[in-house]
Structure 1
């Protein structure tokens, strides 16, 4: 009986001892934030939804009412042929997402240096599975959008409000 209890409790003890923590709510050190992004940007949409759940940071309607302004550039997606078969058919693509952003205070002074995020994912391709590969491509782009949004939010968390 004691051995079963020990074996059952061991994974919990190991997880607690390694510093594992569940993902927490987003806590950005600004009372209000304005997101200046091109219309329809998927990364901006994901940042807004993650910050909307935060009780600490309010999304401002204009840059004048915000303590900080997140300026997102145009999201550029790419799809490059990575490899061809012996018959000249595409067997792999490299998908890419490039996005530039900056963080400024309401007076326009930079709180952090401009940064460019470049993400890539490789995908195999088969002419016999066009619909499945199209869905996989959309899933990979969505994953890159989520990854870029998380990186930007972590960058926001790492800087403090302007003094």
Structure 2
């Protein structure tokens, strides 16, 4: 019995050591996790966009400054389209709605302060299914709002991950002129 436990412990420790040796790390746990490749960013979005406000807070918490002046920013993130939709997924035998599909779509791009695209227009679409019950309309409305907030938080994390993957562009350096003294 003791040897089986010891053998199991050895197998587990070997697996952990193998994962550590190969460089495996969980998403969001590295030294630069969530760190963007620029120091300042300007976010262009609707004033009343909950997504934009959440994104700005998330970016600021990650150590990148969010500025209101696009000229002072290293990068400009533009929200091109943000849309929340609700579709009927299924009906019961009486024709009443049983399930909805909630969809949250975001289209965005990232440019530098010289108007060069760092990330071309990209789109993310998230979906959630929600059941519907006529006797619990208020509860289902609260659940729907909660699902949209959850999708919004997921969307913010996906956008930040995509921006973190941007490779900084190195400006072309002109060769220094070499002069010979005579």
Q: TM-score, normalised by structure 2?
A: 0.76
Residue 120 (structure 1) aligned with residue 152 (structure 2):
no
In structure 2, what is the Cα distance between the partners aligned to 1:116 and 1:95? 17
Corresponding residue SS for 1:121: strand
Q: CA deviation at 1:162?
A: 2.9
Task: Choose which of 32, 35, 38 in structure 2 pairs with 1:30.
Answer: 38
Q: Give the corresponding residue for 1:146.
A: 153
Runs of at least 4 residues of structure 1 off by over 2 A? 10-26, 160-163
Task: Choose which of 117, 126, 131 in structure 2 pairs with 1:110.
Answer: 117
Q: Which runs of 5+ in 1 are unaligned?
A: none
In structure 2, what is the Cα distance between the partners aligned to 1:157 and 1:66? 16
Q: Which runs of 5+ in 2 are unaligned?
A: 171-182
In structure 1, what is the Cα distance between the partners aligned to 2:140 and 2:12? 38
Residue 155 (structure 1) aligned with residue 162 (structure 2):
yes
Q: Please give the per-residue CA displacement for 1:22-74, whole angstroms capped at 9, x wherever unaligned.
A: 8456211101111111112122122111111123x211221100011000123
**Cα separation, partners in 2 of 1:142 and 1:105, compared to 1, 3 Å:** same
Is contact 2:83–2:105 with CA below 8 Å preserved after alignment?
yes
In structure 1, what is the Cα distance between the partners aligned to 2:13 and 2:98? 44
Is contact 1:93–1:123 with CA below 8 Å preserved after alignment?
yes
Greater relative contact order (CA < 8 Å, ≥ 6 in sequence): 1
**Cα separation, partners in 2 of 1:134 and 1:70, compared to 1, 3 Å:** same
Corresponding residue SS for 1:75: strand
Q: CA RMSD in A?
A: 2.4
Q: Give the corresponding residue for 1:90.
A: 97
Alignment coverage as a number of residue pairs = 162
Q: Give the corresponding residue for 1:101.
A: 108
Q: Give the corresponding residue for 1:40.
A: 48
